[in-house]
């Protein structure tokens, strides 16, 4: 028999938080937020629920190359920019370019199923700081 999933207030809080932010928080950032509402919450609980929600497809795990997993409740395919200055992660509002999968497959003898694109550059705030100097 498959394992039934029961409601938990902590998991709900995690999900709510991710659905109302676009900052792509790390597990630790989620932990600190949940702690405002559940001061005794365990970091393990946060990790367990982030994994569970990821498995369920309700959230997405992002690899931004900074050694932390970031989480995003926007599960539609979309791309991100990482600011090389502040390490912030931002959504990009551009259409997915799935034709690159075809391009990639031309000289590859396997099967291309999809892709992730991670852009890097400067966010608005850090760009302005640079321009002022």
Partner DNA sequence: GATAAAATGATAATAATTACTGATTTGAGG
Partner DNA sequence: CCTCAAATCAGTAATTATTATCATTTTATC
CB hemisphere CA count around 132 (13 angstroms)? 6
Assess contact for 80 and 62: CB atoms under 8 A.
Answer: yes
Residue 102 binds which of a second copy, DNA, none (CB < 5-8 A, kind-dependent): none
In whole angstroms, give the CA distance from residue 86 to residue 66: 11
Q: Does 19 bind a second copy (CB under 8 A)?
A: no
Question: How many chain residues interact with a second copy (CB under 8 A)?
Answer: 37
113: which 2 tokens?
């199923």
Residue 32 region by backbone torsions, left for phi larger than 0, else alpha for psi between -120 and 50, else beta: alpha
**What values do phi and psi take at 97, rounded to 5?**
-110, 75
Least distance between DNA and beta carbon 125 (Å): 23
Of the two residues 39 and 67, which places its CB atom closer to a second copy in the complex? 67
Minimal distance, residue 79 CB to a second copy, in Å: 7
Please report how close the Cβ of residue 68 comes to a second copy at its closest, in angstroms: 12
Residue 108's binding partner out of a second copy, DNA, none, with CB under 5 to 8 Å set by partner kind? a second copy
Q: Applying CB under 8 A, which residues contact a second copy? A: 63, 65, 79, 81, 83-84, 90, 92-94, 97, 100-101, 103-104, 106-127
């Amino acid at each position: 028999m498959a394992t039934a999933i029961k409601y938990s207030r902590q998991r709900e809080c995690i999900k709510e938080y991710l659905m109302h932010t676009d900052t792509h928080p790390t597990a630790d950032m989620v932990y600190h937020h949940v702690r405002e509402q559940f001061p005794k919450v365990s970091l393990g609980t946060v990790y367990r629920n982030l994994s569970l929600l990821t498995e369920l497809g309700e959230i997405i795990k992002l690899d931004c190359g900074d050694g932390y997993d970031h989480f995003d409740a926007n599960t539609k395919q979309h791309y991100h920019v990482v600011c090389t200055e502040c390490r912030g992660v931002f959504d990009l509002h551009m259409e997915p370019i799935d034709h690159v999968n075809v391009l990639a497959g031309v000289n590859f003898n396997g099967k291309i199923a999809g892709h992730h694109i991670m852009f890097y550059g400067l966010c608005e705030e850090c760009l302005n700081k640079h321009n002022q100097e």
